[in-house]
């Protein structure tokens, strides 16, 4: 009986640790592997042989791990690329050294591509080592699943902040606009979800080419009609030529993705410069949106945990490799939302971006359709029972990468 390895990659989420807890717990319920080893800082730490034994994490710590935001093993933005044979060889060496035959990788599009590339490489090298993906991304932009763990909690937090800041904005009489910015580089799911709150006047998504004059006319209309305008913008909003609204402030992260920020500030300034409102307030959700521990969606925690369970359980089949697990939307007998689990080829999860559907977008920046709201509603419903410390704060585990 060999060991398994589990690691986390990409941007943290509110529930990525619940998937980790699922893998650990599944192996306690059915010890398919002798040890469950955590790779510290994703593939970067694994290449360096930096592992942490998670096999016997006790049940009460697992419950707290499920409600701990961010990536408890640490994360990385290092991407294994096809052709980097030295990295591939080194990875298999580390796995051999630690008697690891199965690697669970929790991450987004890029990490699912890593799962695919590693599986291919291992097969070509005649190795029996297996690579299995567990998805996460607050961007919700993976193609096969109905939605991605991390997104529902991010949507819940975005809605909470949206409603609270709308109430704050509504308390004033002075003319000003409010602009809330959410994450969402290539897809507007998170920004669009804010419409659930019923508070969004205008919505600016990456899926629709931004047109300055049309947008400003819409803002003017709202100010004329109601004396206020609450706007939500996705960080990835862009002009027809692909230039981001936030273009002035872009930098670069390790994956050669543009690092965005400032779309809300740009819109506010545009509105003030056009003389439509003398001032505006900007709220950028930034990092707080993706890894909060005070707005977890119960559905999200449960699904993230069960995706960890199902990935481990399906790996009992020795042929289970190059696969990623995911959630489909099913129905209960009473017609309510019901999560169903499936697995599919990693290649289908990798390198595609699922845009927010154009036919769910109302014209004139007027938000989303009822169909879109029906999609979002069950994802944010319900509250997990949080375990608090005596200090009144939700308990969190000390990250394994810092132990």
Alpha-carbon distance 381 to 383, whole Å? 7
Name the residue with tokens 């699943």: 145
401 belongs to the binding site for a copy of itself (CB under 8 A): yes
Judge contact between 191 and 203, C-beta under 8 A.
yes
Which lies closer to a copy of itself via its Cβ, residue 23 or residue 122?
A: 23
254 belongs to the binding site for a copy of itself (CB under 8 A): yes
Residue 158 tokens, joined: 């975005």
User: In Å, how far are 146, 207, 283 from 296, measured between CA atoms?
Assistant: 19, 27, 20
Residue 282 tokens, joined: 């900007």
Residues 6+ apart with CB under 8 A from 40: 7, 46, 50, 51, 52, 73, 74, 400, 401
Which lies closer to a copy of itself via its Cβ, residue 79 or residue 156?
A: 156
Q: Measured from the CB of residue 20, what is the shortest distance to a copy of itself in angstroms?
A: 12
Active site residue 139: yes
174 belongs to the binding site for a copy of itself (CB under 8 A): yes
Bridge partners, 107 (sequence order): 135
Alpha-carbon distance 263 to 312, whole Å? 41
Which lies closer to a copy of itself via its Cβ, residue 59 or residue 254?
A: 254
User: Exactly one of 87, 139, 201, 300 is catalytic; which is it?
Assistant: 139
Please measure the distance between the N-terminal and C-terminal CA atoms of the chain and give it in whole angstroms: 27
197 belongs to the binding site for a copy of itself (CB under 8 A): yes
Instruction: Tell me which of 97, 225, 340, 383 binds a copy of itself, using CB under 8 A.
Output: 383
**Binding residues for a copy of itself restricted to 282-341, rule: CB under 8 A:** 282-284, 286-288, 290-295, 297-298
394 belongs to the binding site for a copy of itself (CB under 8 A): yes
Catalytic positions are: 139
Q: Which residues bind a copy of itself (CB under 8 A)?
A: 8, 12, 41, 44, 68-71, 74-77, 156, 159-161, 163-165, 167-174, 196-197, 251, 254, 279, 281-284, 286-288, 290-295, 297-298, 377, 380-383, 386, 388, 390-394, 396, 399, 401-402
């Amino acid at each position: 009986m060999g060991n398994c390895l589990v690691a986390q990659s990409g941007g943290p989420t509110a529930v990525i640790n619940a998937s980790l807890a699922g893998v650990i717990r599944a192996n306690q319920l059915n010890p398919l592997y002798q040890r469950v080893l955590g790779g510290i800082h994703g593939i970067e730490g694994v290449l360096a042989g930096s592992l942490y034994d998670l096999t016997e994490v006790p049940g009460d710590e697992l419950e707290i791990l499920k409600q701990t935001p961010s990536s408890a093993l640490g994360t990385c933005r290092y991407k294994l690329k096809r052709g980097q044979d030295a990295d591939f060889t080194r990875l298999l060496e580390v796995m051999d050294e630690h008697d690891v035959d199965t690697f669970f990788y929790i991450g987004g599009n890029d990490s699912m591509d890593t799962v695919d590339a590693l599986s291919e490489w291992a097969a070509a090298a005649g190795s029996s080592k297996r690579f299995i993906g567990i998805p996460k991304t607050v961007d919700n932009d993976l193609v096969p699943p109905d939605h991605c763990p991390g997104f529902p909690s991010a949507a819940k937090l975005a809605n909470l902040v949206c409603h609270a800041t709308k109430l704050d904005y509504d308390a004033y009489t002075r003319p000003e606009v409010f602009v809330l910015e959410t994450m969402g580089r290539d897809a507007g799911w998170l920004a669009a979800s804010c419409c659930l709150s019923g508070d969004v006047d205008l919505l600016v998504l990456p899926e629709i080419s931004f047109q300055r004059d049309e947008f400003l006319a819409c803002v003017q209309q709202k100010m004329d009609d109601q004396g206020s305008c609450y706007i939500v913008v996705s960080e990835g909003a862009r002009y027809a030529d692909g230039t981001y609204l936030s273009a002035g402030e872009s930098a670069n992260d390790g994956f050669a993705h543009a690092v965005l920020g400032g779309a809300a500030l740009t819109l506010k300034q545009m509105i003030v410069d056009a003389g439509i409102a003398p001032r505006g307030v900007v709220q950028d959700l930034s990092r707080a949106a993706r890894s909060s521990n005070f707005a977890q969606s119960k559905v999200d925690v449960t699904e993230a945990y069960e995706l960890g369970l199902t990935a481990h359980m399906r790996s009992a089949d020795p042929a289970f490799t190059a696969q990623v697990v995911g959630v489909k939307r099913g129905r209960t007998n009473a017609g309510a939302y019901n999560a169903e689990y499936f697995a599919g080829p990693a290649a289908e999860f990798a390198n595609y971006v699922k845009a927010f559907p154009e036919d769910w977008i109302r014209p004139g920046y007027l938000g989303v359709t009822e169909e879109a709201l029906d999609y979002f509603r069950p994802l944010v419903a319900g509250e997990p029972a949080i375990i608090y410390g005596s200090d009144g704060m939700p308990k969190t585990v000390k990250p394994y990468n810092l132990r």
